[in-house]
Amino acid sequence: MPIALAAAAAFAASGVLQFRAGKQVPEEQPGRPTLLVRLIRIRGWRWSVVFAALAFALQVAALSLIPLILVQPLLVTGLVWYVLLFAAFAHDRPDRTILVESTLCLFGLAAFLVIAEPGRGQGRGLESFWSAFLLGVAVVASVGACVLSAVKLQRKWRPMPLAIAAGICYGVTAGLISSLAFHLHGSPLGVFTQWQTYAIAVLGPFGVLLSQNAYQAGPMGAPALAAITVTDPLVAIAVGLIWLDESIRVGPVPVTGEVFAILVVVLAVFLLARRAPHVKGG
């Protein structure tokens, strides 16, 4: 669990640096890789890649030890770090409201994990061709719909579908990483014989590109990060339950508690997003 929390902090630091860097380059159409070519010239963005790589390594380590349904919700704490780091960059002390909203977010997250009691599955669901095909169709359809909506929407509404698309990419990527963990008990080179490895190599960077598009399209980074922060664990939970045979407690009382806890987290995330300061230059 501490490893997942450290990953959340590293992801937050990366998100702050990426948002600040995104405001220093011309805006690109969603999904165009030329944006990454421009960003790589900015030192702050290169540091964001270092933090993202560290966060990714910590996430992989966590997913090899504990269930996906436990790891991804813990990454929600990254938004708390994001808001605090943004305040530090702006030389602004976080006020009492931010602290209350942060506590609410952490309370909802803790309640969900205690009630759900996530259990690790066998991780064999993605070894079936049709199961993997179904996941691929779901990803392409949902991400494609989000990107198409972003292209057609006015600029002020564009960050939300882009952020949701990025969150889908991140959540599915985490599921693929978790499924690969079952192949690490033999030779580490065995991962290169699994299709998940190559799907991660495509889906992960595309998620980064979409998140950067979302940061660039809006006046504040936190609303985009809030959408990513909420979408990522929800998608990961779905992947864990449907494709990786992971489990949570079921029944009228546990499910009611789990849904209520998730709603508390979602509310707290968007309240925190509203409190994020505007960025004033790089």
pLDDT tens digits, 220-249: 555 677 788 788 888 999 999 888 888 889
Cα gap 223→274, rounded to integer Å: 7
Cα gap 251→119, rounded to integer Å: 16
Domain boundaries, the chain: 2-275
- Backbone phi, then psi, for 119, in 5-degree steps? -120, 140
Cα gap 270→101, rounded to integer Å: 9
* pLDDT value at 45 more than 90: no
* The length of the chain, given as a count of residues: 282
Cα gap 153→147, rounded to integer Å: 10
Dump pLDDT digits (tens) for 103-162: 888 888 889 988 988 887 666 667 788 888 999 999 999 999 999 998 887 777 788 888
Residues ≥6 apart with Cβ < 8 Å to 56: 7, 204
Beta bridge partners of 247: 119
pLDDT (mean) for 51-68: 86
Cα gap 243→266, rounded to integer Å: 24
* pLDDT value at 274 more than 70: no
**3-state DSSP assignment of residue 128:** coil
Beta bridge partners of 119: 247
**3-state DSSP assignment of residue 7:** helix
Beta bridge partners of 27: none
List, as own/partner pairs, every contact residues 140-143 make where C-beta atoms lie below 8 angstroms and the sequence separation is at least 24, other chains included: 142/168, 143/168, 143/169, 143/210
Burial class (CB in 10 A: 0-12, 13-18, 19+), 95: exposed
Report pLDDT for 281.
Answer: 36
Cα gap 278→113, rounded to integer Å: 33
Q: Counting runs of H as helices and runs of E as strands, what totals does the chain give? A: 11, 0
